[in-house]
Amino acid sequence: MKSLTEYLTFNTRQRKELVNITRNLDEIIIASKIQEGLCLVSAMHITAAIWVNDEEEGLKVDMMEWLELLAPVKKDYRHHRTGEDNADAHLKRTLLHHQVILPITKGKLDLGPWEQVFYAEFDGQRKKRVIVKILGE
Task: Tell me the C-alpha distance between 81 and 67, whole Å.
Answer: 23
The closest of 6, 8, 22 to 129, measured between CA atoms, is 8
We find the least distance from the C-beta atom of residue 19 to its own copies, in angstroms, to be 17
We find the least distance from the C-beta atom of residue 40 to its own copies, in angstroms, to be 5
- The answer to whether residues 40 and 99 touch, using CB atoms and an 8 Å cutoff, is yes
Helix axes 57-70, 87-96, angle to 10 degrees: 120
We find the least distance from the C-beta atom of residue 65 to its own copies, in angstroms, to be 8
Chain residues that interact with its own copies, rule: CB under 8 A: 1, 3, 5, 36-38, 40, 42-46, 51-54, 56-59, 61-63, 66, 70-71, 77-82, 87, 90-91, 93-101, 103, 105, 110-115, 129, 131, 133, 135-137
